[in-house]
Amino acid sequence: MDEVIADINAKHLNVYNRDFDEQLTLDDLRSGRIADIHPHRAPEILAYLRDPLFFRDLEVIQDSQEVISKLNDKYEVFITTAAMEFPSCMMAKYEWLKEHFSFLNEMNFVFCGDKSIVSADFLIDDNASHFRRFCGRGILYTAPHNWNVTGYERVNSWRDAEAYFLK
């Protein structure tokens, strides 16, 4: 979900910049997460993510709804999200999916931690660590934190993913 279909960076930067009078941008996140850039503020920066409602109003990543809807006509699509670091947000994530991806069956939602438990042919994820023990093919979805990660197939956008899976 996060950084693949749900734009967590936009909101996290927004509330951080507002509360700490900063002007961090997406480009700054190429050198690390906000909490890596300002480790002395890590408790406050991570506290945003523990708010049960933080994930409820994230913007949808561009083109993800349209492309996943098309994928869903041809493939069996599951949403797998790492939710065990901030479990209080599970309900907000569920409601967000039902609002923005209402064409998906909620029986295909997976809230987990270690994604090695997932059995699938493909996993589109921004976090390459999930690919290490994944039984299928990992497709890295470009995000600021993974711009210099190599060794995996990569899509830079949902239009890229559409071309990869449907053309």
Q: Measured from the CB atom, is 77 or 161 closer to its own copies? A: 77
Helix (H) or strand (E) holding 63: none
User: Is there binding between residue 109 and its own copies (CB under 8 A)?
Assistant: yes
| Contacting residues for 39 by C-beta, under 8 A, at least 6 apart | none
CB 156 within 8 A of CB 140: no
Using CB under 8 A, which residues numbered 49 to 108 contact its own copies? 78, 80, 83-84, 87-88, 90-91, 94, 105-108
Q: Measured from the CB atom, is 39 or 136 closer to its own copies? A: 136
Q: Measured from the CB atom, is 29 or 83 closer to its own copies? A: 83
Helix (H) or strand (E) holding 150: none
The angle at the Cα of 23, spanning 21 to 29, to the nearest 5 degrees, equals 125
User: Is there binding between residue 110 and its own copies (CB under 8 A)?
Assistant: yes
Nearest distance from residue 56's CB to its own copies, in Å?
13
User: Is there binding between residue 112 and its own copies (CB under 8 A)?
Assistant: yes
User: Is there binding between residue 135 and its own copies (CB under 8 A)?
Assistant: yes
> Comparing C-alpha atoms, which of 57, 58, 48 is closest to residue 5?
58
Spatial separation of the C-alpha atoms in residues 60 and 111, rounded to whole Å: 18
Number of residues that bind its own copies (CB under 8 A): 25
Q: Measured from the CB atom, is 101 or 109 closer to its own copies? A: 109
| Contacting residues for 141 by C-beta, under 8 A, at least 6 apart | 3, 4, 124, 125, 126, 154, 155, 161
Q: Measured from the CB atom, is 73 or 121 closer to its own copies? A: 121
The residues of the shown chain that bind its own copies, judged by CB under 8 A, are 78, 80, 83-84, 87-88, 90-91, 94, 105-114, 116-120, 135
